[in-house]
Amino acid sequence: MPTSSVEPRQPALLEKRSIDHIPESERHGSLYSQFTLWLGSNLQITALLTGSLAVVLGGDVFWSLIGLLIGQIFGGAVMALHAAQGPKLGLPQMISSRVQFGVYGATIPIVLVALMYLGFNATGAILSGQAVAQLVGVSNSGGILIFASLTMLMTIMGYRFIHIAGRAASVVGIIAFCYLFVRLMMTNDVGQLMAIRHFAWGSFLLAVSLSASWQIAFGPYVADYSRYLPSKTSPFKTILAVGLGSVIGAQISMVLGVFAAALAGASFAGHEVSVIVGLGSKGLAAALIYFSIAFGKLTISTLNAYGSFMCAATVISGFRGDVAISAAKKVCFVLCIVGASTTVALLGEDSFIGTFKSFILFLLAFFTPWSAINLVDFYFINKEQYNLDALFDPNGQYGRWNMVGIGTYIFGIFIQMPFISTSLYTGPWVEKMGGVDTSWIIGLIIPGAIYYILAKRNMSSAPAHAHPNT
């Protein structure tokens, strides 16, 4: 799916830029690389585990698979809509939040996004550490440290290297998952599992919420990995490439997770990696599966660490007005970011699965309203036209603090509270909803509608501004 017949000069493998605007002369890449990046990033163990929770927490195989697919499509559409902002603006994802929140105010969602990255990298490091440990014969803690070192190296290399890794991860993931599916079909009666069909709204909606939350959580950093595409790249094709890659990859992983959890039963929790490899693999085949698990997680963990660096640079630039980040500062940032997530992983490796469901569902309360506000503003309020110079000027068009965006965002968080169901917090309306977390639906619809009304009213009462996007 190429985007242009004219390719700029070959970019350096080591990325030089950080959060600054990518000029047209440095734009490169294709929509095919977007598809493979998100396919490879989702063909991995954490997505598999997310799917398994639909069965671990009470659902049957048949309806869990359907619920996961529905959530996948809905959440993937929301996530992929952010991807078109990359080629259009040539900037990382979260900087565009300055339009809705103000140059200083955007720090609020950005800090929360950084915490999301920390959590995902920590949980990913635990699972990857198990795979690396089995692969090279070290302890789980040693596997986590090896994995963290590789993550840091890839993050420092930057954008182009990440896309190369994404292509490789998609190939490795397809081979590994095809092999596992074949082994699963040969050694187990999958038809018998599919024949058990006990529909329950609670379990079904849980499956929908699990996959939707998985996809929506990618929203805050999708444009980070599409911002080098030529600005004339078709928005629709960008959305389609990213969305299909993410949905197909995640659904494959989650389907395998559902089958693995259903077959393993109570022995699945705490031994996720060994159960997956044990679906029928021994010797060299087992080693290859362990490698694919570690490599798949390495790709997404690098995305998280790279996104964390973008968030840190964005916060600093908002208050200092300087977008230039030296190579030494970048290394320091990445070392701190990966070091923090690795520390959390080492401290929490013995209590992983019990907290993972709560983490990914509670996460939605903070990112669904941001996603709704950001998309409504980009597509319906400013109609894809932003003043890029003003994004870096606290005294410019977008100001320091945008109380319309900030107020709507805070309201969007609190209005979800009655519908949240996690071990961290359970709202009073959850029981009436069958015990299922439906907060993400509320968090998308209501804040988006409120922001549209208030932003339109605010725009009509303000003096006209030009909105150059170059």
β-partners of residue 421 are 426
CATH topology of domain 24-354: Hydantoin permease (1.10.4160)
**What pLDDT is attached to residue 188?**
80
What pLDDT, on a 0 to 100 scale, did the predictor assign at position 466? 44
Contact 353, 272 (CB under 8 A): yes
| Residue 396 to residue 387: CA distance in whole angstroms | 9
Tell me what pLDDT residue 280 has.
59
3-state secondary structure of 325: coil
Q: 10-residue block means of pLDDT along the chain (470 residues)?
A: 48 84 94 96 89 88 96 96 96 94 94 83 81 85 92 94 94 91 84 84 90 92 95 97 97 93 73 70 77 87 91 86 78 90 79 60 80 97 94 93 96 93 82 80 95 90 50
Alpha helix positions (H), 349-398 = 353-376
CA distance linking residue 38 with residue 40, whole number of Å: 5
The residues, any chain, with a CB within 8 Å of residue 339's CB and separated by 6 or more, are: 148
Q: How many Å apart are CA 241 and CA 226, to the nearest integer?
A: 11
| pTM for this model (two decimals) | 0.89
pLDDT of residue 4: 42
Q: Are 104 and 401 in contact (CB under 8 A)?
A: yes
Query: What was the pLDDT predicted at 431?
Result: 81
